Structure 1
Amino acid sequence: MISDPVPTEVQPFRVCFVCAGNICRSPMAEVVFQTMVRKAGLSRYVETLSAGTGDWHVGEQADSRTLTALARSGYDGSRHRARQFNPDWFDSLDLVVALDSGHDRILRAWAPTETDRGKVTLLLSFDDEQSSLADVPDPYYSDDEMFDRVLGMIERASRQLFRQLEPAIRQGAIR
């Protein structure tokens, strides 16, 4: 009698979304992407986190306007706590998604190897309709309408990112 092979431990695909303070844009991206992963039944295979390039808000919740915009669109960001990106994380991350060109430059400068620099990309680069913009605008000094607009941009680009990653994740999940 031939027995089934022993299942190996699944190594999740790790994505980190990065903005300046980790209280507006990157928490939105983290929550949106986590929701897509969960709804697709892939939570076991994808780990999503977010961080900021700065340390101004470490330990704080997302900005109240971020939480409100997320809630208006059916998301829950209440468990988020801001943290600063640590370059030591590159080793364990598969993809580092910057929310604007400034973060992209900082992350590439922090990356210890060329391979790690290759993990860094702009979120809007995944969405053909928004890629020419390059940057998701920072809504911090703006109003609720801007937070909603930024969330919409993040949702569209995150859907495209997920569409690109999902087949590879599913293929890896089936092995």
Structure 2
Amino acid sequence: MTSISILFVCMGNICRSPLAEAIFRHLVTEAGLTGRFTIDSAGTGGWHEGEPPDRRSVATAQRHGIDIAGLRGRRIQPADFNSFELILAMDRDNLATLGKIAPPEANIRLFGDAALGTGEDIPDPYYGGPDGFELVYTRLLTGCSSLLEALGVERASCSGNTSSVR
């Protein structure tokens, strides 16, 4: 079976993209397809390189049975454009930044287009409260589930509270 490589990208790689990485990885694991995917996340900026995800992202993921505390922020590297078949930007600003630094053959798409089919940006919850992180989690879970299905994989069944929406 061929492996599919996906990179989720936001601005600092501490809020949205690590959540997307962990949610998608969780869905893939639950579907028994771990060997079929390479999944990672990165930021367009390097402000948080080496740092763990934002504590509010960690808490939100934990409430849904997903542990992201071990992830570390990193900035996107030129090699990523060749290493990942699909690069998903969380919003139009990051999409534009990626478009300026990527080679023309890179497959960069807006998460809201590729995963949700709505064209929406996934809002940056960094300057808000817990409700913003919960909203982001919900949108990412919906999109990641749809993305897994769109990639020709039978929809992953979410057990436990992972699929819960508050």
Q: Same fold (TM over 0.5)?
A: yes
Task: State the distance in 2 between where 1:135 and 1:62 align.
Answer: 20
CA contact (8 A) 1:123 1:158 kept: no
Among 3, 10, 24, which residue is 1:12 paired with? 3
Bigger helix share: 1
Among 34, 48, 57, which residue is 2:48 paired with? 57
The 3-state SS of whatever aligns with 1:44 is helix
Is residue 100 of structure 2 the alignment partner of residue 112 of structure 1? no
Q: Report the alpha carbon displacement of residue 110 of structure 1 after superposing the two structures with TM.
A: 1.2
TM-score relative to the length of structure 1: 0.83
The 3-state SS of whatever aligns with 2:151 is helix
The equivalent residue for 1:127 is 116
Superposed CA RMSD in Å reads: 1.4
The number of aligned residues is 153
Q: Report the alpha carbon displacement of residue 85 of structure 1 after superposing the two structures with TM.
A: 0.4
Is residue 50 of structure 2 the alignment partner of residue 46 of structure 1? no
The 3-state SS of whatever aligns with 2:135 is helix
* Unaligned ranges ≥5, structure 2: 155-166
* Unaligned ranges ≥5, structure 1: 1-9, 169-175
Structure number with bigger Rg? 1
Letter in 2 for 1:40: A
The equivalent residue for 1:70 is 61
Task: State the distance in 2 between where 1:161 and 1:155 align.
Answer: 10
Runs of 4+ that moved beyond 2 A: none
Among 125, 130, 135, which residue is 1:144 paired with? 130
